[in-house]
């Protein structure tokens, strides 16, 4: 059994990764490993993902994976971007998903539909205890709706409508979301990388 450390306390991300990995892999979260995430000081999603994966690999001695993702809105000049999780806090509000989504909707209140284009971007980094590194990316295009809808998601999912379609990410089933989401696309590339690297060992341990 190959143990992969996911440098996140988000159980939904862990569940998504577990659903994509083949038999022979086990995903351990940062919380389960007792690892606290470092400060995200990078200027890009890839830089932040690597910061977290490097710390996790160094502290745990395990192959480690970390993601950094966010919402990029054209009408907001690319914001929230790498500050997606802290967007409301940057404006003096509580750092919660609800406040983040509410702020985006407020800033876009007078923006017409044709200018509400946006995309989710994810960077997923892999770092081995030996120092090997890789970063993969995933993107999903869409637009920002006019109100929150759906409960099957987190972050900006309730206001992001992937294209083509009329439902928000938070209104999709887990299976459908994993098929089209930025993180799902990046994780699938990562799974291919992990399987290629560790498959011979995992087969021997089955």
Q: Rounded mean pLDDT of 70-82?
A: 97
- The distance from CA 90 to its chain's CA centroid, rounded to whole angstroms, is 20
Q: Pull the structure tokens for residue 34.
A: 């007792």
* Residue whose C-alpha is closest to residue 106's, from 80, 82, 83, 81: 80
* Structural domain boundaries in the chain: 2-204
Using one digit for the tens of pLDDT, what is the confidence trace for 111-164? 999 999 999 999 999 999 998 999 999 999 999 999 999 998 889 999 999 988
Q: Rounded mean pLDDT of 67-78?
A: 97
φ/ψ of 23, rounded to 5, equals -60, 145
Q: Is 40 exposed, middle or buried (0-12, 13-18, 19+ CB in 10 A)?
A: middle
Q: Which CATH class is domain 2-204?
A: alpha beta
Q: For residue 67, indicate whether it is catalytic.
A: no
Catalytic residue among 68, 90, 97, 174: 68
Q: Pull the structure tokens for residue 61.
A: 């001695």
Is the pLDDT at 69 greater than 90? The verdict is yes
- Model pLDDT, residue 152: 87
Number of residues that this document lists for the chain: 206
Is the pLDDT at 17 greater than 90? The verdict is no
Q: Pull the structure tokens for residue 7.
A: 């440098």
Q: Pull the structure tokens for residue 171.
A: 């209104």
Contacts of 193 (CB under 8 A, 6+ apart): 126, 134, 136
- Model pLDDT, residue 206: 37
- The distance from CA 67 to its chain's CA centroid, rounded to whole angstroms, is 5
């Amino acid at each position: 059994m190959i143990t992969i450390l996911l440098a996140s306390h988000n159980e939904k991300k862990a569940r998504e990764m577990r659903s994509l990995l083949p038999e022979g892999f086990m995903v351990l979260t940062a919380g389960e490993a007792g690892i606290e995430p470092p400060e995200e000081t990078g200027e890009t999603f890839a830089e932040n993902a690597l910061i977290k994966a490097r710390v996790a690999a160094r502290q745990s001695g395990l192959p480690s994976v970390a993601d950094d993702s966010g919402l990029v809105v054209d009408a907001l000049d690319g914001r929230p971007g790498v500050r997606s999780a802290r967007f409301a806090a940057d404006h003096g509000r509580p750092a919660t998903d609800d406040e983040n989504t509410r702020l985006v909707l407020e800033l876009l209140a007078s923006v017409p539909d044709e200018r509400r284009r946006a995309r989710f971007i994810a960077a997923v980094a892999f770092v081995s205890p030996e120092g090997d590194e890789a970063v993969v990316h995933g993107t999903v295009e869409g637009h920002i709706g006019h109100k929150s809808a759906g409960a099957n998601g987190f972050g900006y999912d309730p206001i992001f409508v992937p294209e083509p379609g009329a439902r928000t990410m938070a209104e999709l089933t887990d299976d459908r979301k994993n098929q089209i989401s930025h993180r799902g696309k990046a994780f699938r590339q990562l799974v291919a990388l992990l399987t290629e690297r560790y498959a011979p060992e995992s087969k021997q341990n089955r």
